[in-house]
Structure 1
């Protein structure tokens, strides 16, 4: 049942977060795996507030949440976040989250392009009518991980969805961008896939929610963040490897998203 537990790409200061919360990932039921990358479960009981930061993936997330300081359990849908995402954790709380595969959410909400939800967080019931407060309570109060996973499976399987070849194509293209470090230019990538740049852009707007260029840059920024806590990082070499024009371009992208330079981030994470 376990999904990859060691993938912390996109989490800012992962050791700081994981020392404060219980964080687990689990795979969904087999019929849901074309759409859902994994479920993520977090529980916390903190003596003092903590702000968790992430540089989000190009994914839509559905979360069922309970925070003792925020009232009863609720369900939230979060589109692709364009900048740094911050979540303040206080007291005790729990999140049962669904990370959709990039490009694979639209079969559950075909009425609007995924770009409609980009940069937005809203009550999930406005998009998925089945995500009621009662359903949120049922999921977050389930006893133990296996019960919560079963509850998430049951919920998603109850939401009407139909296989969509365009969603499959979009998910496959994003996966290639994520894993192939040679993908740096949109025009070259579109040509290699037998698509025009405009067709690729329309597909990403409708199914991913962000542009191909944004997706390339976000995954390369994840790579930079993953290596930034090393004292001996060769930023010039890393910039070349990740397809940035030069080191200054990488530093500007990193600083523009996280609000601190790579070296300042590395010092903070290491406690220098």
Structure 2
């Protein structure tokens, strides 16, 4: 697995890029909400599959290059689709700079870039596949984002001038200082009401602006990000759940268990991630989360 930070022009919008090319067997995982959108390109096949429904067994698919929306619920994924993939993780609010409708209206877990970007989205996978090396494939993703960011009609050279243009869009949500502050504060565990008071917005204005940019309401985002702070400490047979609940601001152990199940679909006691490095991916089985034969990890 290859990961790296984005070029400076995209640093306000993109957290990191990743590339995987491994022989992975088929299987299905429960993927947990993270509070961030992703752009994913399946290099092995021109499709991205996911599953929803009560048992995460209702199949859906999109084109092989897609935008994975910000969700407050888990979905199922075919891990075989991730054997050869390239993609990037947006910062909260960062995807809004590249999507014409507000990201909050993207209710499907995955939307094909052909639907969002037309021809440029439909040809993205082909452009990525034509690049000769993993690093070059990551660079193609950055190139496409730059083209959309600066409004170019043709290829954009990644020069200092392009970077300067791309980093000077104050109207974009990623450069909105109020929303940036809200994201950071909620990510640290601040109460929504205290953030609203600090910013001086009405509650309805704050809700509307935050949801349009990030894709979740402030409360949903805060819940998901608190879950993300809990997950690294939620494995093993000796977890002190009451202490963990207190450490992360839950009212009590019962509150943590309720929130955990609401956001992941499993109780803390049945949470068995793929590995300590992949705590957002839980193998799906009929009655538990223990590993099945022939399973593979999806990139986060």
TM-score (norm 2): 0.72
1:40 correspondence with 2:18:
yes
Whole-angstrom CA distance in 2 between matches of 1:60 and 1:129? 19
What is the match of residue 175 of structure 1?
Answer: 184
Q: Distance in 2 between matches of 1:131 and 1:95?
A: 19
Q: CA deviation at 1:230?
A: 3.2
- 3-state SS, counterpart of residue 22 of structure 2: strand
State the 1:175 CA deviation.
2.5
Q: Does the 8 A contact of 2:96 with 2:172 survive in 1?
A: no
Match of 1:62 in 2: 39
* Residue 218 of structure 1, CA deviation: 0.4
Q: Report the 3-state secondary structure (helix = DSSP H, G, I; strand = E; otherwise coil) of the residue aligned with 2:123.
A: helix
Structure 1 ranges of 4+ moved more than 6 A = 267-272
- Which one of the candidate residues 14, 25, 30 is aligned to 1:53? 30
Indicate yes or no: 2:221 matched with 1:215.
Answer: yes
Distance 1:226 1:159, change over 3 A: same
Matched length? 244
Distance 1:214 1:70, change over 3 A: closer
- Aligned partners of 2:239, 2:89: CA distance in 1, in Å? 31
CA distance in 2 between partners of 1:206 and 1:92 (Å): 29
* Equivalent residue, structure 2, for 1:136: 125
Task: Report the 3-state secondary structure (helix = DSSP H, G, I; strand = E; otherwise coil) of the residue aligned with 1:83.
Answer: coil
**Aligned match of 2:136:** 147
Which residues of structure 2 form unaligned runs of 5+? 49-62, 151-168, 277-289, 292-300
8 Å contact from structure 1 (residues 64, 140) kept in 2: no
Structure 1, unaligned runs of 5 or more: 1-22
Distance change in 2, residues 1:91/1:151 (3 Å): closer
Tell me the residue number matched to 1:249.
255
Greater shift after overlay, 259-268 or 77-86? 259-268
What do the CA deviations read for 1:202-255 (whole angstroms, capped 9, x no partner)?
111211111110011101111222111133322112212222221111111212
Contact 2:73/2:263 (CA < 8 Å) preserved in 1?
Answer: yes
Q: Assess if the C-alpha contact under 8 Å between 1:41 and 1:97 holds in 2.
A: yes
- Distance in 2 separating the partners of 1:38 and 1:269: 20
Deviation at 1:99, TM superposition (A): 1.5
Partner SS state of residue 83, structure 2: strand
1:113 pairs with 2:102:
yes
Q: Secondary structure at the match of 2:101?
A: coil
Alignment of 1:120-131 (within 5 A): 120-131=109-120
Alignment match of 2:234 (pick from 219, 222, 228):
228
TM-score, length of structure 1 as denominator length: 0.78
Contact 1:65-1:140 within 8 A present in 2 as well: no
Q: Relative contact order: is structure 1 or structure 2 higher (C-alpha 8 Å, sep ≥ 6)?
A: 2
Whole-angstrom distance in 1 between the partners of 2:220 and 2:145? 29
SS at match of 1:254: helix
